[in-house]
Structure 1
């Protein structure tokens, strides 16, 4: 059973507090470059608060973590890649805001879980095949941009698509993180008005919870920087993929 919204902080059990503190740390870690782990945070928020409300609760925390990432990796962005993607991302967000406003919560939840599973499946597939370079044609950038914008607005779940695109473009690690940092910072700022005035999922009550969890985000970002510097990437990514697949099933089954 999901919690009521007002005031959020008075309706959380100790277990739920533990989970959302962990989720806030995961959010910070993901923005430091431990990207795939972010899906676990999304699933935790959706499990506790419900799929649609959770997207608005999480968004300001993502922006805080984005600011940390942009500051830390600001010199490493590959702007030609971003310039190709940004217009299509914006269109994807606008369409998702319109579409998401017109479907019921149950369908929204199932779409969100389906996107998680699709993202995990795509990452599993990409891990098992030799690295290939996606063509640089504008049509490819447009499809990836639309998918990134749509999935980000529906469930803060664009990481899988953007990761595949950046990896296939053979972006080096620091450039990968820096480019993703700027992309998600701009994307999440663009989404904010839709969450405030269209979906009404960002409220003074949700912001009060966000404020409490800022230290967890900062700690998670610091830990993420340390992890990225010493990352055994293949084992870690496989573990994260399995955990996120399980998390998506929890959202889908409404456990």
Structure 2
């Protein structure tokens, strides 16, 4: 199944999409690729397949932001991310595929709802800097949601946006924090036996498509309106998330 045409017909566009999302739009919505892949493989396989590819895309796009982060807030999120990843690993060991499938689907749908209410102004984020304690717990939430669905962006964003960071500092923090969280996840995935030889071979095959997506993303950044790109992203997440939830509960 993992090496047939039908798999690659879904996997290749999903991986290219992840590259476009992270390379051109600085988007935490790249996790949509894992949601899409979870429709055609087990949730664990989807998460394990995407993790090295997301890390590769990060390496390809982090150079402009190196050293430009706000270290005190980044450090809090990283420290909080450690227990978050641990909680995710313990949960993964304790539950079956349907629970993980449900969590990935739920994170997908909640991400879309979060973006809608935020853009409509139905909720307002704090205009005061949130405390260090909140930053730590935001890191824990980000580590957990990142472990189970690669969707750690919203918890960290709530904290970082309250600090009044510059756009460059914000993006640099995001790159640094999730690069380190992804390294922690990779160690946990390896310990849990989620990585397999088949998946690592698939990573090698799909890696050029991830880099191609990042290159397209850089080019598309000035050509494709963000509104159009995110509209497509939210439709993808809504459809795949709903399908994963349905599959899990049925």
The two structures have a TM-score, normalised by structure 1, of 0.86
Matches within 5 A, 1:60-99: 60-99=52-91
Larger deviation, residues 152-161 vs 71-80: 71-80
Quick one: which of 211, 235, 239 aligns to 1:242?
A: 235
Tell me what 1:49 maps to: 41
Preserved CA contact (<8 Å) 2:77 2:156:
no
The two structures have a TM-score, normalised by structure 2, of 0.88
Tell me what 1:197 maps to: 191
Are residue 21 (structure 1) and residue 15 (structure 2) matched?
A: no
Deviation at 1:239, TM superposition (A): 3.7
Matches within 5 A, 1:98-113: 98-113=90-105
Deviation at 1:43, TM superposition (A): 1.3
Where does structure 1 lack aligned partners over 5 or more consecutive residues? none
Are residue 31 (structure 1) and residue 25 (structure 2) matched?
A: no
Structure 2 residue matching 1:41: 3-state secondary structure: helix
Matches within 5 A, 1:213-252: 213-230=206-223, 232-252=225-245
Preserved CA contact (<8 Å) 2:80 2:143:
yes
Deviation at 1:101, TM superposition (A): 0.8
Aligned-pair Cα RMSD in Å: 2.2
Are residue 114 (structure 1) and residue 106 (structure 2) matched?
A: yes
1:212-248 Cα distance to aligned partner (Å, 9 max, x none): 1111111111122223345633443344223311221
Q: Give the direction of change, closer, same or farther, for the CA distance of 1:61–1:47 in structure 2 (3 Å limit).
A: same
Deviation at 1:60, TM superposition (A): 1.1
Cα distance in structure 2, aligned partners of 1:207 and 1:19: 18
1:158-179 Cα distance to aligned partner (Å, 9 max, x none): 1233344444444444333322
Cα distance in structure 2, aligned partners of 1:124 and 1:73: 28
Tell me what 2:174 maps to: 180
Aligned structure 1 segments of 4 or more residues deviating by more than 6 angstroms: none
Q: How many residue pairs end up in the alignment?
A: 245
